[in-house]
Structure 1
Amino acid sequence: MNAIRSILFYVAALVLTPIYCVIGTLILPLPARIRYRIVSTFGWTRLMMWVVEYICGIKYKVEGLENLQGVKPAIICSKHQSAWETMALQMVFPPQVYIAKKELLYIPFFGWGLATISTIFIDRSAGVESRNKMLDVSKKRLNDGFWIVIFPEGTRTEPGAKVKYKKGAADMARALEVPLVPVAHNAGDYWPKNSWMKRPGTITVSIGRPIYPDGRDLASITNAAHAWIEGEVARIRQ
């Protein structure tokens, strides 16, 4: 049964993704927040999350929403175990953008869709120049009311894996003088990294208190995020 559900998910993705990528291309002249609502809030993301819940049987619950009260657009520093959280975070948080390598922009349909939702593309080979450009664009996105999602592990990790966090999220939080909001979840238990099979169940998403960069170095900010996220993931999985 799980196999059939998983196949239906991919069928839905294959049907809906090209449609919304074309829609996204047509609405590029519209303001960024309106494009986001069309493609994400009321469009592709919401439809795919419906498929995930009602066909794959994967639901979710959110803890710690009170920690977002009074927080202006900031950095979302999230655990990364699957593709699930790239969709679910859009349902949990206010409008947001992702940071992605520029090569993804050239993938037919997928890359067009990323461009539609104001993704921040970076050239990893450009070094300091790429960082400065990323910070400039990120500041503009924050001023436009978008939160910025960063996965500190740099790639998807399996549940229980011990991975050193990169300092990019802390660097951005300090450079732009905004808080870093840690997010833990156990999506990997139901949406495994190296498997196409989805397992029904309820994913827990936990939002921590903002970590403010004032007077802290990169290591201190990164270590604080790492300690909270990993400790919270361990608690969720018990």
Structure 2
Amino acid sequence: MSTVPLLRTVLFYFLLASTSCIWCIVSVFVAPFLSFRARYRFVVQNWCRCATWLAKVVVGIRYEIKGLENIPEQPCVILAKHQSTWETFFLCGYFEPLSQVVKRELLYVPFFGWAMAMLKPIAIDRSNPKAALKQLAKQGHERLEQNVWVLVFPEGTRIPVGQIGKFSRGGAALAVNANLPVLPIAHNAGEFWPKEGWGKRSGTVSVVIGPVLHAEGSGPRAIADLNDRAFAWISQAQTEIGALAPQSAPVDSPEPI
């Protein structure tokens, strides 16, 4: 792992911003005429794959995946560790179609937000956690019934490498109520694309996809148990790839959902 020179970092952000603007503008005019699945592939999947490709070519952020055999055929709830922006690009480019929880304000951004709004995101108001949980339960269930993956970052926000945030039960509750499992995913992307600052480090991101976790029963106890097991698996996986110190206590998330 080495620090990427400033010039290459600037070039990366220039190319990322340029492709984003162009793609969003084109998508606003093309996407309305496509089916949802084709729209997702055109607007999100292709661009997110372009973003991870740019990260690989320009700043040297590569990746390796373990556990591909654990991905179920039927879409379910993905519970993923959140450290950086990289995993959002990667997961949205790898799983399709996918709906994720986003801040409602993002939908108001010209072209970018307009394009995103056509992709059935679960756009929540983070200032109202109770309403956000109800919205996640309702809209998330609808997406799952439509065979759409639902991505939830249970920590609620990006947590620096070496730490893990407390898990909200929203994703686990969604899975239990839909009678579907959760798919836990761990990674160490924050080592190469840090939460803070613009700097990047070249190296290989380890993405670990765990076995699906099923609830044992229903109701609040089953939700709490499933959430605890997902937390335990991701914590252990983070420790094994060197992204979390053994027996680290979870930190409070400033933006729980």
Amino acid at match of 2:167: Y
How far apart are residue 110 of structure 1 and its match? 2.9
Q: Choose 227-236 or 94-103, whichever is displaced more.
A: 94-103
Deviation at 1:112, TM superposition (A): 2.1
User: Superposition pairs for residues 143-222 of structure 1, below 5 Å?
Assistant: 143-215=145-217, 217-222=222-227
For residues 11-40 of structure 1, the C-alpha deviation after alignment (integer angstroms, 9 at most, x for no partner) is 012211121112221122422111111112
Shift of 1:2: 2.5
1:40 maps to amino acid? V
> Which has the higher mean CA deviation after the structures are superposed, 128-137 or 113-122?
128-137
Q: What's the CA shift for 1:168? A: 1.1
Please, which runs of 5 or more residues in structure 2 have no aligned partner? Answer: 244-257
Give the one of 16, 19, 22 matched to 2:22.
19
| Contact preservation (8 Å) 1:17, 1:109 | no
Contact 1:24 1:116 in 2 (8 A): no
Aligned to 1:225: 230
TM-score by length of 2: 0.85
CA distance in 2, matches of 1:2, 1:132: 45
How does 1:46-195 map onto structure 2 within 5 Å? 46-69=49-72, 71-124=73-126, 130-195=132-197
Compare 15-24 and 186-195 and name the one that shifted more. Answer: 15-24
Flag the 1:126–1:160 CA change in 2: closer, same or farther, 3 A: closer
1:167/1:8 CA distance change after superposition, 3 Å: same
| Alpha-carbon spacing, 1:201–1:224, altered in 2? closer, same or farther (3 Å) | same
The 3-state SS of whatever aligns with 1:28 is helix
Q: Deviations over 1:38-70 (max 9, x none)?
A: 1123x321221211111110100100011114x
Which residue of 2 is the match for residue 37 of structure 1? Answer: 41
1:157–1:193 CA contact under 8 A, matched in 2: yes
Q: Which runs of 4+ in 1 moved over 6 A?
A: none
- In structure 2, the CA distance between the partners of 1:80 and 1:127, relative to structure 1 (3 Å rule), is closer
Q: Relative to structure 1, is the Cα distance of residues 176 and 88 closer, same or farther in structure 2, using a 3 angstrom cutoff?
A: same
Structure 1 residues not aligned, in runs of 5+: none
**Size of the alignment, in residue pairs?**
236
TM-score under structure 1 length normalisation: 0.91
SS at match of 1:161: coil
